[in-house]
Amino acid sequence: MKKIDITGKSSTSTILVGERLENLHRYLPVENPIIITDHVVLDLYRQKLPKAEIICIGTGEENKTLQTVESIYERLVQLGADRTAFIVGVGGGIVCDITGFVASTYLRGVRFGFVSSTLLAQVDASVGGKNGVNYHGYKNMVGVFNQPEFVLCDLELLQTLAEKEIQCGFAEIVKHAAIADADMFTFLENNAEQALALDHAIVEHLVSRSVSIKAAVVNHDEHERGERRKLNFGHTFGHAIEKVCGLPHGQAVSIGMSVAAALSVRRGLLAPEEATRLNNLLARLNLPSSTDAPWNDVLAALDKDKKREGQAIHFILLKQIGEAVVDSIPLEELRAVIPDHAC
């Protein structure tokens, strides 16, 4: 088991990679915790949960709403939960994001922790203290920064994950290596097939390194004013592709990383062989570099985001594998690299 600390402005979070769900009771400061989970995770893992009140929510982005939050507040009131309550989110990124938001706002904040059960939640969503929900179709529009007291990343839970969910996690793992850790990138190149097969030691190393990289960035820039933006590598384009074509997040981010690498080469920042290394690794992890998306619509979605933010689009580019820089890029420049990414 590996232990990594994140020091937020208001509190510290301890991430335990490799700790098991059945040991959750050891970390609970109260006898009667409240667990928030979704029905898929509950059906699979009910037997492993400690004695607790359980609040079960639906799955999918359509449930990541203020309505779900309100229904949880209602249950908390019914249960008589007071300021001494301790809430644990057991699930993927959606459960963690909702749990963190509910716990941070109910009675102006009660204590909380997570057991993250998807690869994406373990390497990304449960780490860093961003909690929130979607609002009128806008992703993560309403939320708070607040660190959970602990996050248990139980690697055994990954065995029941659908392949699409594993892909989402690997896209974020590649992202972390590409922006911050050349050795981790080489490790991935040397162990891609074992990683995909969820070899325990390989996955433990990759999750720990990912958490450490995100923790280091968040420790410097919890509220995303500068350095934390680098974690958006592949996401500027990725979000637009996801919105326009409905591709799964991991696939969209993968294409976004490939586009960002091509832009980096075009700007003379990155050697072409390094972009090829990235594309080859993505392919070995069954992640795409291109799409038959209607690219004009993708660019229009990017432009709309830019207008919404009232500023230039910040793109994360690579100087080399393991080192990222933030820059703003005109849409016309993006058009030039698109033919290489259109099927």
Catalytic residues: 108, 130, 172, 214, 224, 228, 232, 235, 239, 249
From CA 88, how far away is CA 96, in angstroms rounded? 9
Shortest separation between residue 18's beta carbon and ligand NAD, angstroms: 15
Return the closest-CA partner of residue 234 out of 219, 252, 218.
252
230 binds ligand NAD (CB under 6 A): no
Phi, psi of 235 (to 5 degrees): -90, -25
* Among the listed residues 6, 34, 157, 207, the single contact to ligand NAD using CB under 6 A: 157
Q: What is the DSSP letter of 136?
A: T
Q: List, as one string, the DSSP characters of 43-97.
A: HHHGGGSPS-EEEEE--SGGGSSHHHHHHHHHHHHHHT--TT-EEEEEESHHHHH
Decide whether 114 or 185 has the Cβ nearer to ligand NAD.
114
Give the nearest residue (CB) to ligand NAD: 93
Per-residue buried b or exposed e for 199-217, using 16+ beta carbons within 10 Å of the residue's own CB: eeebbbbbbbbbbbbbbeb
Rule CB under 6 A: choose which of 121, 218, 244, 260 binds ligand NAD.
121
**Taking the complex as a whole, how short is the minimal distance between the CB of residue 120 and ligand NAD, in angstroms?**
4
As given in the structure block, the two tokens for residue 86 are 């301790």
CA 154 – CA 150 distance, rounded (Å): 13
What is the contact mask toward ligand NAD in residues 64 to 103, using x (rule: CB under 6 A)?
x--------------------------xxxxx-x------
d(CA 206, CA 183): 11
Among 14, 23, 59, 219, binds ligand NAD (CB under 6 A): 59
Which one of 104, 118, 212, 232 is in contact with ligand NAD (CB under 6 A)? 118
Stretch that binds ligand NAD, among 49-57, 123-131, 197-205, 301-309 (CB under 6 A): 123-131
Q: At how many degrees (to 10) do helices 200-220 and 182-196 cross?
A: 140
Q: Which is nearer to ligand NAD, 42 or 283 (CB)?
A: 42
Q: Which of 52, 69, 152, 168 binds ligand NAD (CB under 6 A)?
A: 168
- Burial (0-12, 13-18, 19+ Cβ within 10 Å), 30: exposed
Using the contact rule CB under 6 A, the part of the chain among 18-26, 75-83, 115-123, 259-267 near ligand NAD is 115-123
Phi and psi at 340, nearest 5°, equal -75, -15
Residue number, 13 or 279, with CB nearest to ligand NAD:
13
Contact 215, 5 (CB under 8 A): yes
Among 4, 28, 36, 41, binds ligand NAD (CB under 6 A): 41
Q: Which residues bind ligand NAD (CB under 6 A)?
A: 38, 40-41, 44, 59, 61, 64, 91-95, 97, 117-118, 120-121, 124-125, 128, 130, 139-140, 157, 160-161, 165, 168
